[in-house]
Homo-oligomer: A and B are copies of this chain.
Amino acid sequence: MRPLSRIHLGPGPEFDLIRDLLGSESPLPPGVLVGPGDDCAVMDGGFLISSDLVIEGVHFRREWVSLEEAGFRAAVAGLSDLAAMAAEPLGILLSLAVDPAKAQELAKGLQTGAEDACAREGVAILGGDLSASPGPMVMDVVALGRSQAPVHRVGALPGDEVWVTGWLGGSGAAVHLWKEGREPPAPIRESFVRPRPRLRESRWLLDRAPIHSMLDLSDGLAGDAGHLSRASGVGLILVEGAIPIHPSIKTSLGPEHVPLHFALEGGEDYELCLTAPPGALQELRGAFREAFGLPLTQIGRVVEGEDVLLERSGGELRPLARRGFSHFQETVNG
């Protein structure tokens, strides 16, 4: 594996700040192949590591989800970073900060959920930390994995097709409904509380097709397409009508909502977005659906340039406001 050094991040205030913080392109230390900017840091020897903070009031509210569900989601956020690079998971470190007066109940609930998410992927909690919190519950999930050939955000080539796994927008729609004071219908709620890291899916795809670039959809398709575009130094054209919007969105939201909005701007679907040469994935769709019960959908193409464009039904192209959902600007309290 060659060192990739720093990956370029897409636009958005959170990423501007990260860019600013990371500073100039300082060299990576020996033993480190990929530093800041990709889904995981990659160490010599093929070890991958990511770290995700999950904070009550920013990423979830107690009225919406159980402790177990909050812990489950946090573990999935970490494991999904490994899926994004087609790595094999080894386990997670789970660090918790909770109100010491209710520590037993709170920590146990969160940890049970995280354990469940890990067990479904055949891994376990390998360590972590426990602290008092003076305010909100805090979780940090460190995901550890292994790959001799991780797939990066860098690598998309003009001419590639852009594909996604699964259905998009469910998680964002659930948050939207909760904020309106409504309980989301079960399939929408499930998208938020029981996302799955696409670990098996990404390795299955990599075994069968030349995947050029990949990431997981944690900031919304618009934001994440921006990351991929900027990291690879290419433009993307996404076809509006092709985006696989979660089927329950149309039936559970009023006509004042544009379902596409949740797929583009809602975060935390944890599906994969990948690019591959023309024709490489087309005939795998049936086998993919059979293996995983999920659609595999071409949603666009890679072009020369640097813009992410949305192709409307009439063929008109409009620049995608590449903001994505940002936990930095919008919180679940917002």
B-contact 0/1 string along A22-61, CB 8 Å cutoff: 1000101101100111101101010101111101111100
| CB-defined contacts of A329 to chain B, threshold 8 Å | 100, 132
Q: How far is the CA of A68 from the CA of B26 in the complex (A)?
A: 20
Residue contact A21 to B107, C-beta cutoff 8 Å: yes
In the complex where A93-B41, A104-B17, A328-B100 touch, is A129 in contact with B52 (Cβ < 8 A)?
Answer: yes
Q: With an 8 A cutoff between CB atoms, is A124 at the interface?
A: yes
Per the 8 Å Cβ criterion, residues 72-120 of A in contact with B are 90-91, 93, 95-97, 100, 103-104, 107-108, 111
In the complex where A36-B128, A90-B29, A123-B29 touch, is A142 in contact with B111 (Cβ < 8 A)?
Answer: no
Q: With an 8 A cutoff between CB atoms, is A333 at the interface?
A: yes
Residue contact A49 to B142, C-beta cutoff 8 Å: yes
Residue of B nearest to A38 (CB): B127
Q: Which of A133-141, A171-179, A256-264, A308-316 contacts B (4 or more CB under 8 A)?
A: A133-141
Residue contact A127 to B35, C-beta cutoff 8 Å: yes
| CB-defined contacts of A38 to chain B, threshold 8 Å | 127
Q: How far is the CA of A146 from the CA of B18 in the complex (A)?
A: 27
Q: With an 8 A cutoff between CB atoms, is A14 at the interface?
A: yes
Q: How far is the CA of A132 from the CA of B38 in the complex (A)?
A: 20
In the complex where A31-B146, A57-B134, A97-B58 touch, is A51 in contact with B128 (Cβ < 8 A)?
Answer: yes
In the complex where A122-B29, A124-B28 touch, is A132 in contact with B17 (Cβ < 8 A)?
Answer: no
Q: In the complex, what's the smallest C-beta–C-beta distance from A88 to chain B, in angstroms?
A: 8
| CB-defined contacts of A49 to chain B, threshold 8 Å | 49, 93, 127, 142, 144
Q: How far is the CA of A43 from the CA of B47 in the complex (A)?
A: 9
> What are 30 A-B interface contacts by the 8 Å CB criterion?
A18-B130, A21-B107, A21-B108, A21-B130, A32-B91, A36-B125, A41-B91, A43-B90, A47-B47, A50-B93, A50-B127, A51-B93, A51-B95, A51-B127, A51-B142, A52-B129, A53-B96, A55-B133, A55-B134, A57-B135, A58-B97, A58-B132, A103-B328, A130-B328, A132-B327, A132-B328, A132-B331, A135-B135, A140-B140, A142-B142
A interface list, Cβ under 8 A from B: 14, 17-18, 20-22, 26, 28-29, 31-32, 35-38, 40-41, 43, 45, 47, 49-53, 55-59, 90-91, 93, 95-97, 100, 103-104, 107-108, 111, 122-136, 138, 140, 142, 144, 146, 327-329, 331, 333
